[in-house]
Structure 1
Amino acid sequence: TFTWAATGNTYTESGAYTNVTTNANGCVHTETLNLTINQATAITGASDQSFVEGSTLNDIVLSTNVTWYASLADALVPQNPIAATTVLTDGATYYAVSLTENCPSEPFAVTVSTFLGTNSFDDALFSVYPNPTFDVVTVRYAKAIEHVSVHNVLGQSVLSDNIDANQGQVDLSHLTAGTYFVKITSGEASKTVKVIKK
């Protein structure tokens, strides 16, 4: 929003606004305000997300880069940001704000749940490449990969495939450019990786 001091009016949309005044001598004065209001990038993503214990705010999956806040009150100002390396607390709600030309977005709330990572991948034995990619991503793990699924930032499944091998390829060529989440399942373990499609 923008408040024009000449009139005291507050504007929420871009446009040309005119203020006409007449002084005591009957002289007319016209002022024109050409106003551009920048719109912040809207944040999309799942409002409830689950993570292995020890995960941080960096692991939360959203459509754009954001700054995190511990309360809605702080996010609305915005003030008192918290570090992206903050370890997630089970049941907590965090508030994300994106900036576009110094204009903050509406806060986006994400409530997290955490679980013990007993059935997690050994990252040293796992790889996804190339990332970013233009078309095909290779997934590799020391154990057999049974299933791969791909979701968009809204959490919608856009691809699902059985691999049943230590290595497989996922063809993303038919998808529009953007951020996707590739979930790889091996036995009782699973891992989700953010992949950028160019």
Structure 2
Amino acid sequence: MTAVFLVSFWRRTSLDVGDGDVYNDVMKKKTKGRIKRILIYLFILAVLVLFSIIYLLPMVTDAFTRTTIVKYGNIQIVDNVTCYFVRDEIVYTAADSGTIQYYYEEGELVRKGSKIIDILPSGISYVANENRLVSYYVDGCEEVFTPETMASLNRKQIEELQITVNNIKRESAIAGEPLYKAVDNTVWYVVFWVESNELLKYT
């Protein structure tokens, strides 16, 4: 009886120890599983937060932002500069001395082939070669400010010019004197200088 009891007790003790190992393994697996689930939940939560920040937050804030319709307009750039207007102008001079007979007033448009001036008594006539305005005001700079030369104008030289406008309409003329000016009024240019640090405003 004694021997049987000892064997039985030894077997029960062995089983108890084995049951403890199994329990520890189960607890470790449960703990690992719980940690794994927590990490998954945290990852999903982080994804949702990022999604909200990237997509939902702008949509919500835009709902409170006023919408403005873009319209065409003008951007005004203001500078205090001296401007020089450039046009294609031709000054005609008297081929002979005599009395001047005018056919057009200042600023009138003269059609090609129309007579502008006669010089009497020589009978020399001045006829328009193309449609242009006629002007009897000259400043002596008609050959300085031209569409062909305006890109190469020197600022210092231009600022030193003494420009005076003269009315040349009169009763008689001496050979070589200016009679009138024919102006192409369809295209105008403006020449002015700005400081180098202001150039970005015009680009």
Larger Rg: 2
TM-score between both structures, scaled by the size of structure 2: 0.22
Q: Which has the higher strand share?
A: 1
Q: Which has the higher helix share?
A: 2
